[in-house]
């Protein structure tokens, strides 16, 4: 070998060790960078074959860095409590719009996001997280778009149209002494002799509502009208004389509220709903279909309500146990303001509003690659697809092998400090040894020059 080839060989070793040290330095520098994936160096030998030589005769001519490979081993997941911090458990990547490159699509494992002033979910560089938006009913779409929450910061009022009441009406209840009807002037006391009723003092249902003792049990429903005002509809159950026979009375106040929203002059309205039960089994015989209530509020506003005593969750009963309200529900809601956003492992973001609503607002999507180690690093924790990585396959969390997403948490750097220090010692020793070789070559070369001078 010539002095030149010796120098080239040793220089390649010094360069390789220097590159290795640079990779270690970069890894250690990013040991606290969320979502950072460490790199490793792969070296290969160089063979300088002269003309006519076989591979067994050629002398090596140094070392070359074959590849600097990203290691996508998972980092530790750390809870942060910030609902817009997301951590991936699996092989997927978040998809973002890279604003520094004309909104080109890029990918990242760093899940630190927040809301910008326009309602976009963005990373610290302002890149917009991509996913599927939901409609006003919480149905998730399938068109990839930037996730923007400005349109869901409030919800409009939705009138109640359906209510369900499931109660047990005790078979042991007596029929009330006051009938559950609305007499024009006075309520009548039912005596043991129906032909000899006793008239009691006049009692105004319209201004006072049902008289105590005129029903066996009751429950109340909160009903929202079309502009978001809340009204109360009370349901009074009164047992009748006939076996298995009851009346349910829907009662509401149609009085006009004052400027403070309080009703001072009442105007109670009611609608009777006959109910019948099998005296033996206690099962509801009727009504098994919804009853339409025609409600009217102060000022003449009308509202139709479908009231159910039987649905898929069960039916009213007449058992021997005490009167009890088992289950009730209404639809509709008042206007609300967004108070928090939380995410499930399936990537669905659910908004919670101060009116008690919980509505799906969006779903994060994950990108999966056949060869993620071939992705190109772009800085700021971003990667872009290359011919070697293949195109991204977009899936929702929990499907397609991309993994799940945890809200309120971040993935830490996967750099192992001990491994980096081990590599640093190896590269330092290699650099030191090859520096010694270079000095020896220089000494030998100097001696050769002196000898021929």
Query: Which of 330, 362, 383 is at the close of a domain?
Result: 330
Q: Does residue 152 contact residue 359 with C-beta atoms inside 8 Å?
A: yes
Structure tokens at 158: 């939705």
Q: For 412-421, write each residue's pLDDT tens digit.
A: 999 998 999 9
Q: What is the pTM of this model?
A: 0.70
Q: What is the average per-residue pLDDT within 113-139?
A: 93
Note the pLDDT tens digit of each residue in 43-86.
Answer: 888 766 554 555 555 567 788 888 888 999 999 999 998 999 99
> Cα separation of 391 and 128, whole Å?
20
Q: How many domains does the chain have?
A: 3
CATH number at residue 167: 2.60.98.20
Maximum mean pLDDT: which of 58-67, 87-96, 443-452:
87-96
Same-domain check for residues 150 and 166: no
Query: What average pLDDT does the segment 204-210 reach?
Result: 70
| Rounded mean pLDDT, 371-388 | 94
* Residue 146 sits in the same domain as residue 184: no
Coil vs helix vs strand at 240: coil
Mean pLDDT of 374-378: 94
pLDDT number for residue 106 = 96
> In whole numbers, what is the pLDDT of the chain averaged over residues?
86
Stretch 172-187: mean pLDDT = 59
User: b/e per residue, 150-189, with b = 16+ CB within 10 A?
Assistant: eebeebebbbbeebbbbbbbbbebebbebbbebeeeebee
Structure tokens at 413: 């750097």
Among 289, 310, 330, the domain-final residue is 330
Residue 158 near residue 303, CB atoms below 8 Å: no
| Predicted local confidence at residue 384, as pLDDT | 96
Sign of CA dihedral 119, 121, 122, 128: negative
Together in a domain, 98 and 219: no
Compare 28 and 17 and report the one with higher pLDDT.
28
Which residue range forms the structural domain that includes residue 126?
77-154+338-411
Of the three residues 330, 359, 380, the one that is the final residue of a domain is 330
């Amino acid at each position: 070998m010539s002095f030149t080839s010796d120098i080239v060989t040793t220089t390649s070793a010094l360069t390789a060790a220097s590159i290795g040290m640079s990779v270690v330095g970069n890894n250690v520098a990013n040991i606290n960078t969320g979502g950072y994936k460490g790199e490793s160096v792969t070296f290969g030998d160089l063979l300088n074959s002269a003309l006519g030589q076989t591979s067994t005769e050629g002398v090596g001519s140094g070392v070359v860095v074959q590849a600097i490979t990203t290691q996508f081993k998972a980092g530790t997941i750390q809870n942060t409590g910030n609902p817009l911090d997301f951590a991936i458990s699996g092989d997927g990547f978040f998809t973002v719009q890279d604003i520094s490159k004309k909104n080109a699509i890029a990918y990242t494992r760093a899940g630190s996001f927040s809301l910008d002033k326009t309602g976009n979910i963005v990373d610290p560089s302002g890149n917009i997280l991509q996913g599927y938006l939901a409609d006003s009913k919480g149905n998730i779409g399938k068109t990839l778009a930037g996730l923007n929450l400005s349109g869901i910061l409030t919800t409009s009022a939705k009138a109640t149209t359906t209510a369900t009441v499931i109660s047990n009406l005790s078979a042991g209840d007596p029929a009330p002494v006051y009938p559950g009807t609305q007499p024009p002037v006075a309520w009548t006391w039912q005596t043991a002799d129906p032909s000899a009723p006793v008239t009691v003092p006049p009692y105004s249902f319209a201004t006072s509502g049902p008289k105590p003792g005129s029903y066996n049990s009751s429950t109340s429903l909160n009903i929202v009208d079309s502009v978001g005002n809340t009204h109360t509809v009370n349901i009074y159950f009164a047992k009748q004389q006939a076996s298995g026979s009851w009346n349910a009375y829907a009662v509401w106040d149609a009085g006009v509220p004052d400027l403070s929203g309080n009703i001072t002059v009442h105007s109670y309205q009611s609608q009777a709903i006959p109910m019948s039960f099998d005296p033996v089994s206690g099962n509801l015989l009727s009504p098994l279909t919804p009853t339409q209530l025609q409600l009217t509020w102060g000022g003449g506003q009308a509202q139709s309500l479908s009231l159910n005593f039987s649905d898929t969750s069960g039916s009213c009963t007449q058992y021997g146990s005490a009167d009890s309200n088992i289950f009730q529900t209404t639809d509709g809601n008042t206007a609300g303001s967004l108070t928090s956003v939380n995410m499930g492992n399936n990537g669905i973001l659910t908004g919670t509003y101060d009116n008690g609503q919980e509505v799906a607002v969006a779903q994060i999507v994950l990108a999966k690659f056949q060869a993620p180690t071939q992705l190109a690093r772009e800085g700021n924790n971003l990667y872009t697809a290359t011919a070697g990585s293949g195109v991204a396959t977009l899936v929702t969390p929990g499907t397609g092998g991309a993994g799940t997403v945890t809200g309120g948490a971040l993935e830490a750097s996967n750099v192992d400090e001990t491994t980096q220090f081990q590599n640093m010692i190896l590269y330092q020793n290699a650099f030191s040894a090859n520096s010694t070789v270079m000095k020896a070559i220089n000494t030998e070369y100097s001696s050769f020059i002196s000898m021929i001078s």
